[in-house]
Amino acid sequence: MGRRKIEMKRIEDKSSRQVTFSKRRSGLIKKARELSILCDVDVAVLVFSNRGRLYEFVNSSSSSSLSQILKRYQDSTAADGKASIAAVETESSPSSCAEVQTCGELVKSVERYLEGPELENLRLEDFMRLERQLADALVQTRTRKEKLLKQENEQLKDEVANLIGIPKSRNHKDLGVNNLMEVDADRQYSQPLRTLPLLR
Amino acid sequence: MGRRKIEMKRIEDKSSRQVTFSKRRSGLIKKARELSILCDVDVAVLVFSNRGRLYEFVNSSSSSSLSQILKRYQDSTAADGKASIAAVETESSPSSCAEVQTCGELVKSVERYLEGPELENLRLEDFMRLERQLADALVQTRTRKEKLLKQENEQLKDEVANLIGIPKSRNHKDLGVNNLMEVDADRQYSQPLRTLPLLR
DNA sequence: TCGGCTATGTATAAGGG
DNA sequence: TCCCTTATACATAGCCG
């Protein structure tokens, strides 16, 4: 991608190696950011210069602090075997009305289970189903919360528009979803199921 | 770099998102490899698909196993005065289930949610991992979008405050929604369900 | 889903200031 | 050393089978 093709081996000239390092490093991180945004996945890039300096990219979509990514990595490698995980659609849109009702009922049932004495009788398949159910419950809760957020957002936009006199201002894309050289240590793992009561 | 330029935002079409993910992922890893070779530095790239599969690149040349790289990472961040990353322990609190009868009902009710094909082939480890991946995948998109919304709202609030002329409080929680946000579903669900440890 | 196939958009190796 | 510019090599979006 330059004036001419270069061999894929260590660049001996120190100066051009440094230049190339700088260029390609930022290129790599840019690519990582794009991948995480376009495909909505978690990406981590760590680069250590031979002078010991660290350059990193971790998409900070909150569910992905580096510590969690590392944890996921450890889990992945721990369960070696390379057994393929079946494809499961997890990004389905909010449930239909009928499903919502069912979901609400199921959640109550699940909650009873969780507060009851034994779980050992359930089979793996049952757990699978329970899990799915909880996921749907989560969707509902979030949908409600998000709806409120959007409403407020629209109100605020209108308010601003009225105050300024500018009809519409798009492009808030520059809000910066990504972190560079920074790791947020979120507390993600705390109380598993407090979501559920919200559905009642 | 394609037939036409694409917007830097999440690709909504699932199919093209997957295709792009595959292409760009390999591209990213190729770039990482080239960087490590050309510039003789240590590079690590971790990519987690939404289905929980891990794709990684670590230049294996020197004594840079990922664990060592991570150690170096932790050293770097620690030296920066940042808190070291603490592994979050998964506590297995005694969860439980009620009667088998209710379980049967639950399973039956929940059955319609399941569309997934060959889940039976999974091993326990895969299943446990899959469980959390499901939760994470579910969380990601909404979390990200919500984060942007929150940021935008904060900006808008500031803007409104400035326009109206209130130099006073920086507390925006009186607008209502933020109180709801404190019960953040994201943080409730990320931990593997309490049920899962019992599977061991 | 899974690969090839181009037309195009990008990244970047050299060079210049 | 750094910042631009520019010519090229590469990466990849949209298609097709």
Q: What is the pLDDT of residues B71-109, one digit of tens each?
A: 555 555 544 433 222 222 122 222 222 233 233 443 333
With a pLDDT cut of 90, the percent of chain A lying above it is 1
A59 shares its domain with A36: yes
* Residue B165: inside a domain: yes
Please tell me the predicted confidence (pLDDT) of residue B166: 57
E-only strand ranges, A29-71: 42-48, 54-59
* Residue B91: inside a domain: yes
* Residue B3: inside a domain: no
* Residue B1: inside a domain: no
B58 shares its domain with B77: no
Q: How far apart (Å, rounded) are the C-alpha atoms in residues B26 and B170?
A: 45
pLDDT (tens digit per residue) in A152-187: 677 777 777 777 765 544 444 333 333 333 333 222
CA angle (A125, A126, A132) in 5-degree steps: 90
pLDDT (tens digit per residue) in B116-131: 333 333 344 443 433 4
* Residue A109: inside a domain: yes
Please tell me the predicted confidence (pLDDT) of residue B28: 92
pLDDT (tens digit per residue) in A44-91: 888 888 776 778 888 765 344 555 555 555 555 543 332 222 222 222
* Residue A132: inside a domain: yes
* Residue B81: inside a domain: yes
- From A63, A82, A98, the end of a domain falls on A63
A152 to chain B: which residues are within 8 Å by CB?
153, 175-177
A57 DSSP β-pair partners = A45, A180
Q: How far apart (Å, rounded) are the C-alpha atoms in residues A122 and B58?
A: 40
A 153-182 → B contacts, CB under 8 A: 153, 156-157, 159-160, 163-164, 172-173, 175, 177
Which among A119, A140, A180, A200 is the top mutation candidate for probing chain B, defined by the most B β-carbons within 10 Å of its own β-carbon? A119
A110 shares its domain with A146: yes
- From A46, A63, A80, the end of a domain falls on A63
Q: Sign of torsion, CA B112 B186 B181 A162?
A: negative
Most confident of B24-33, B68-77, B152-161: B24-33
A18 shares its domain with A102: no
A48 shares its domain with A18: yes
B18 shares its domain with B109: no
B77 shares its domain with B59: no
pLDDT (tens digit per residue) in A110-134: 444 444 443 444 444 454 545 554 5
Measured distance between the N- and C-terminal CA atoms of chain B, rounded to whole angstroms = 48
Distance in Å, alpha carbon of A179 to nearest chain B alpha carbon: 13
Q: Cβ(B97)–Cβ(A118) under 8 Å?
A: yes
B38 shares its domain with B98: no
B116 shares its domain with B181: yes
B44 shares its domain with B75: no
E-only strand ranges, B16-162: 42-48, 54-58
Which among B15, B190, B194, B199 is the top mutation candidate for probing chain A, defined by the most A β-carbons within 10 Å of its own β-carbon? B190
CA distances to A128, A134, A193, A199, B191 from A108, rounded to whole Å, are 17, 10, 12, 9, 20
User: Cα A27 vs. chain centroid, distance in angstroms?
Assistant: 22
B77 shares its domain with B137: yes
Do A24 and B43 count as a contact with CB atoms less than 8 A apart?
no
B54 shares its domain with B93: no
Nucleotide nearest to A1 (CA to C1'): D9
Structural domain that includes position B145: 71-187
Q: How far is the CA of B133 from the C1' of C2 (A)?
A: 25
Question: In this structure, what CATH number is given to the domain that contains residue A25?
Answer: 3.40.1810.10
* Residue A9: inside a domain: no
Number of domains into which chain A is organized: 2
pLDDT (tens digit per residue) in B41-71: 888 888 887 766 778 888 765 444 555 555 5
pTM value? 0.46
Q: Kindly give the pairing relationship between strand B42-48 and strand A54-59.
A: unpaired
